[in-house]
């Protein structure tokens, strides 16, 4: 591995068996790492459905079926046997890379329309309104089988057995295995099967009328007991991961999961019953956060919550809510079965997402310091990226990570976040993400967050604050002189409620750093500098914008230059606190601004 280096941040790559070659001694691991140009910390083999676990008898020359070899049945260049897979996992470990098995809740393939797992008990399929099965015939791992036994007990026993046989060092809960398969089918429509309703009744001790009609059960529970329904699913996912952790941790195995469809901390609970604080306490170690505007909104139209500005709020709220978890940005790259290629088609979007997500900062309550909200990178998927694309991606990721070594304090506003929305078990808690998105889209820089309980340690290291919970000012009236309260259509400051436009103007006058159009993100760096990314998001035309700073600028430098050297690009213009930049369509520009 002559040209391979180690990156300065954790990296996980999701793969199937296509990048490897069972006909050579090391199963192609050496060639794959050479192609990457770096050695990842982990490879997540995210190509397995549950039938691989349940039908596995021994490591022998039995062929691995097409659904478990390539992602959702994507053809592989070579046939693979169980012996080949064993050799591959050993070679991955010999290379110093942690192999992790990933399991998806799918049981049918959209690549081979006739391929479907035929060993699944029909009772455990996930259902939704209309008593319909989910796309892909997904299972609900929380259900009971026809004989009354909990499916998860069989799943966990077979999972641990296979992990031990092959030498997998961890388990990644894939789509539908940490929150029911979505993204549109949330707890308001899924899974109201008789079994889940019976479990709900046992948990809640509520008296639910018997109803043979599936949609009748949906409507009754949503109308009368939706909060309790959410709390039930929170409990069941907690129990599920607690059982898994109890088996994996004594063996030294790691436990991570792919997020339940990129909601923020509040919405993850009400949409899917996923409470990351509870799951951490039950043994979950890390989350792959699928913040993928380049894929999820552009290709799949999966809702406004996957636009970049909403994902910024997702990272801030996740890390502020449960900082003990490790959060990885699950980067949408290339997905052959789903026919999207963000690396080739939308590199400009991937670039602006890189700085928007990696520069999110949260106040660590233990250290009293601002730290990264994004702990590392997880690639979804790493099968079809060529060496030049890998080089480009790692250069941009590394640049974004390395720039944070210059971080001094937040620029613009700092969000004071609390748990209020995580205790509101209705869709009303979407309002906090919407307010954040509305504010950042007005050109205000808001890229850091502090939990209310840790606020006292940061009062001397932040400027103006922004909150969404108006009651916070009742609890902390001493903050009134530097805290803006963002209401639904109004902005409150020092006891006065202003119309939106007037309040926004006041924020910009007081906070200084903002952009006239589009978005601006970034931070105040050491040596009297601001490091910023200006975004012309979702605009098909070039846009000239004005950047306003609270201080006079001495010079401007391209961000990818070596900041430890004295060279910089000077602009032929009067240096002032308002600068003009031309931003390319749907893209971004990153600069360093040296101030007096």
Q: Is the peptide bond before 381 cis (omega within 30 degrees of 0)?
A: yes
Query: 3-state DSSP call for residue 246?
Result: helix
- Here the contacts of 148-154 (C-beta below 8 Å, separation 24 or greater) are 151/121, 151/124, 152/240, 152/243, 153/243, 154/54
229's CB contacts (< 8 A; 6+ apart) are 187, 200, 221, 222
Q: Please report the DSSP string for 143-196 in residue order.
A: SB-TTS-BHHHHHHHHHHHHHHHHT--EEEE-TTSSS-S-SS--TTTB---HHH
Where helices occur in 249-300 by DSSP H, the ranges are: 265-272, 276-282
The confidence score (pLDDT) of residue 305 equals 67
This prediction's pTM: 0.95
Average pLDDT over residues 55-78: 92
Average pLDDT over residues 531-558: 90
The confidence score (pLDDT) of residue 460 equals 75
Nearest to 403 by CA among 287, 270, 281, 561: 561
Query: Average pLDDT, whole number, for the chain?
Result: 91
The rounded percent of the chain whose pLDDT value lies above 90 is: 76
Query: Is residue 184 over pLDDT 60?
Result: yes
Which residue in this structure is represented by tokens 């001790």? 205
List pLDDT tens digits, range 426-437. Answer: 988 999 999 999
The confidence score (pLDDT) of residue 299 equals 59
């Amino acid at each position: 591995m002559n040209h391979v280096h180690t990156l300065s941040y954790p990296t996980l790559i999701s793969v199937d068996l296509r990048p490897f070659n069972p006909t050579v001694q090391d199963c192609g691991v050496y060639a794959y790492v050479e192609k990457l140009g770096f050695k990842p910390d982990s490879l997540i083999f995210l190509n397995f459905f549950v039938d691989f676990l349940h039908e596995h008898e021994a490591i022998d020359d039995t062929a691995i079926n097409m659904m478990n070899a390539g992602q959702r049945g994507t053809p592989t260049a070579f046939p693979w046997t169980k012996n080949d897979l064993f050799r591959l996992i050993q070679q991955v470990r010999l290379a110093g890379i942690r192999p992790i098995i990933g399991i998806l809740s799918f049981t049918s393939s959209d690549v081979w329309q006739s391929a479907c797992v035929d060993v699944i008990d029909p009772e455990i399929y996930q259902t939704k309104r209309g008593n319909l099965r989910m796309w892909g015939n997904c299972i609900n791992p929380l259900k009971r089988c026809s004989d009354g036994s909990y499916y998860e007990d069989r799943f966990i026993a077979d999972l641990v057995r296979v992990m031990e046989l092959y030498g997998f060092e961890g388990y990644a809960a894939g789509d539908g295995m940490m929150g029911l398969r979505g993204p549109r089918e949330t707890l308001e429509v899924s899974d109201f099967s008789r079994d889940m309703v019976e479990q709900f009744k046992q948990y809640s001790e509520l008296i639910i009328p018997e109803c043979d009609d599936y949609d009748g059960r949906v409507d009754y529970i949503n109308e009368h007991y939706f909060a309790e329904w959410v709390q039930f699913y929170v409990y069941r996912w907690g129990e599920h991961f607690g059982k898994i952790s109890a088996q994996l941790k004594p063996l030294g195995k790691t436990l991570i999961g792919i997020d339940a469809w990129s909601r923020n901390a509040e919405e993850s609970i009400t949409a899917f019953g996923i409470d990351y604080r509870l799951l951490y306490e039950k043994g979950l170690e890390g989350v792959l956060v699928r913040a993928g505007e380049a894929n999820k909104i552009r290709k799949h139209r999966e809702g406004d919550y996957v636009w970049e500005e909403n994902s910024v709020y997702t990272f801030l709220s996740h890390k502020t809510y449960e900082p003990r978890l490790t959060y990885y940005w699950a980067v949408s790259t290339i997905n052959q079965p789903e026919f999207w290629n963000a690396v080739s088609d939308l590199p400009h979007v991937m670039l602006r997402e890189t700085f928007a997500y990696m520069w999110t900062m949260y106040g660590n309550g233990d250290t009293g310091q601002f730290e990264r909200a994004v702990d590392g990178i997880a690639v979804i998927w790493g099968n079809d990226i060529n060496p030049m694309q890998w080089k480009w991606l790692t250069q941009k990721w590394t640049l974004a990570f390395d720039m944070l070594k210059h971080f001094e304090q937040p620029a613009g506003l700092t969000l004071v976040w609390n748990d209020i929305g995580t205790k509101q078990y209705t869709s009303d808690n979407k309002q906090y993400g919407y307010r954040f998105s509305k504010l950042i889209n007005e050109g205000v820089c808001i890229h850091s967050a502090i939990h209310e309980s840790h606020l006292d340690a940061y009062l001397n290291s932040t400027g103006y604050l922004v909150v969404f919970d108006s009651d916070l000012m009742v609890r902390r009236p001493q903050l009134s002189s530097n805290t803006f309260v963002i209401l639904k259509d109004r902005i409150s400051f020092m006891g006065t409620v202003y119309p939106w436009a007037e309040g926004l103007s006041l924020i910009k006058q007081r906070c200084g750093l903002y952009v006239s159009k589009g978005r601006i993100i970034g931070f105040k760096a050491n040596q009297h500098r601001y490091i910023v990314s200006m975004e012309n998001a979702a605009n098909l035309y070039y846009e000239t914008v004005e950047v306003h700073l609270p201080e006079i600028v001495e010079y401007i430098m391209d961000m990818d230059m070596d900041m430890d050297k004295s060279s910089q690009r000077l602009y032929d213009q009067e240096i002032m606190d308002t600068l003009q930049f031309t931003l390319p369509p749907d893209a971004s520009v990153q600069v360093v601004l040296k101030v007096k």
